[in-house]
């Protein structure tokens, strides 16, 4: 490559860098740097979504997406999806805040991890018992499996007639590539310390003993799910097991069998809480994360790199989820 071509290449690279830099700095030009770099007094800001005339306040917390702890990474997908640790902190903040008279969980999720669902459930119970605050649930399009697990202890569950809920149960899945590998002449070499170390291996069929081990685990987790509903809904264990065969119910069907308390929209759920606890025309707020430089950078990166960044985020989540796990999850 001669000197002129090198010069042309350097100019092109320089123009690209300048272009990217211009887009980045123009995206933060209107930012409030006092908010960006100052450490806030509270973890969350309050966004007023309904201004009332009374001094009472209802906090709305959203459960949107799969209930799983992805480690709080910095990928774009982690920034935009359900954030488990952040949600637990929001629940704690709503419980501790003396100005909050009630909490509404706005749930739109197919469920998620067994551990994560249990952590949310336990935090809801803690808020109710330690801070003596009512917790209502407003179900969106889907509030199934783990979504119902975290709803069970609520003081009132309100669903849309078309909500998909229920799916009470546990699922554990893996893929078996053994036949495909044999067809293509692919060998798997596994060195293990014990007979069951590669249980649910993708490279061979499951043995009867392994299936029995895993079934006993699933049965134990299912029993916990049943007990959560027995305690939260004041139902008999036999009745919960009859309803909890894994099927989903519409909101109307769930109302008929006693899995929800009322049918209505989010606004109607707010009105129910106001009326039930004589709160008057309340201020309804939603928590949001205080914006910092990291969030600002991620938003700028998303505008610059778009779909590629989201794909990388998805691949990151897939890597984190590598390996079978038990889930309270409704999957089609």
Report, as an integer, the average pLDDT of 289-301.
53
Q: What is the pLDDT of residue 9?
A: 56
Q: Which residues are catalytic?
A: 145, 197
Q: Is residue 241 part of a domain?
A: yes
Q: What confidence tier does 290 reach under pLDDT thresholds 50, 70, 90?
A: low
Considering its fold, how many domains does the chain have in total? Answer: 1
DSSP state of 40: P
Compute the distance between CA of residue 13 and CA of residue 114 in angstroms, rounded to an integer: 49
Q: How many CB atoms lie within 10 A of CB 97?
A: 19
Q: Is residue 5 part of a domain?
A: no
pLDDT over 90, % of the chain: 62
Q: Is residue 270 part of a domain?
A: yes
Q: Is residue 264 part of a domain?
A: yes
Residue 111 main-chain phi, psi, to 5 deg: 110, -155
Q: Is residue 237 part of a domain?
A: yes
Q: Is residue 20 part of a domain?
A: no
Q: Is residue 282 part of a domain?
A: yes
Q: What is the pTM of this model?
A: 0.80
Q: What confidence tier does 250 reach under pLDDT thresholds 50, 70, 90?
A: very high
Compute the distance between CA of residue 150 and CA of residue 124 in angstroms, rounded to an integer: 8
Find out whether 282 and 101 touch, Cβ atoms under 8 Å.
yes
Q: Give me the domain span that covers residue 125.
A: 41-170+213-329
Compute the distance between CA of residue 158 and CA of residue 264 in angstroms, rounded to an integer: 6
Q: Say yes or no to pLDDT of 265 above 60.
A: yes
Task: Specify the higher pLDDT residue, 73 or 191.
Answer: 191
Please give the biggest Cα pair distance in the chain.
84
Q: Is residue 25 part of a domain?
A: no
Question: For position 261, which CATH number holds?
Answer: 3.90.226.10
Q: What is the pLDDT of residue 77?
A: 47
Mean predicted lDDT score pLDDT of the chain: 83
Q: What confidence tier does 11 reach under pLDDT thresholds 50, 70, 90?
A: low
């Amino acid at each position: 490559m001669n000197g002129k071509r090198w010069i042309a290449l350097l100019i092109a690279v320089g123009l690209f860098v300048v272009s990217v830099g211009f887009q980045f700095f123009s995206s933060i030009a209107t930012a409030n740097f006092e908010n960006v770099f100052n450490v806030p007094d509270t973890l969350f800001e309050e966004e007023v979504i309904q201004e009332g005339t009374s001094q009472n306040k209802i906090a709305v917390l959203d459960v949107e997406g799969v209930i799983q702890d992805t480690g709080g990474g910095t990928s774009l997908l982690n920034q935009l999806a359900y954030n488990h640790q952040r949600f637990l902190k929001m629940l704690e903040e709503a419980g501790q805040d003396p100005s909050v008279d009630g909490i509404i969980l706005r749930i739109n999720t197919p469920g998620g991890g067994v551990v994560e669902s249990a952590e949310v459930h336990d935090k809801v119970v803690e808020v109710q018992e330690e801070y003596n605050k009512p917790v209502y649930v407003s179900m969106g399009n889907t509030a199934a499996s783990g979504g119902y697990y975290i709803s069970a202890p609520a003081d009132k569950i309100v669903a849309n007639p078309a909500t998909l809920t229920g799916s009470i149960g546990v699922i554990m899945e893996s893929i078996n590539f053994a036949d495909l590998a044999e067809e293509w002449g692919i060998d798997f070499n596994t060195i293990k310390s014990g007979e069951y170390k590669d249980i649910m291996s993708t490279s061979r069929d499951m043995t009867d003993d392994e299936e029995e081990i895993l079934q006993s685990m699933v049965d134990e987790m299912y029993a916990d799910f049943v007990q959560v509903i027995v305690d939260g809904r004041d139902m008999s264990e036999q009745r919960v097991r009859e309803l909890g065969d894994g099927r989903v119910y519409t909101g109307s069907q769930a109302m008929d069998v006693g899995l929800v308390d009322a049918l209505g929209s989010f606004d109607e759920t707010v009105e129910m809480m106001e009326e039930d606890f004589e709160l008057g025309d309340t201020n309804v707020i939603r928590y949001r994360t205080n914006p910092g430089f990291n969030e600002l950078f991620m938003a700028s990166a998303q505008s610059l790199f778009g779909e590629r960044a989201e794909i990388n985020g998805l691949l990151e989540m897939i890597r984190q989820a590598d390996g079978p796990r038990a889930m309270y999850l409704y999957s089609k």
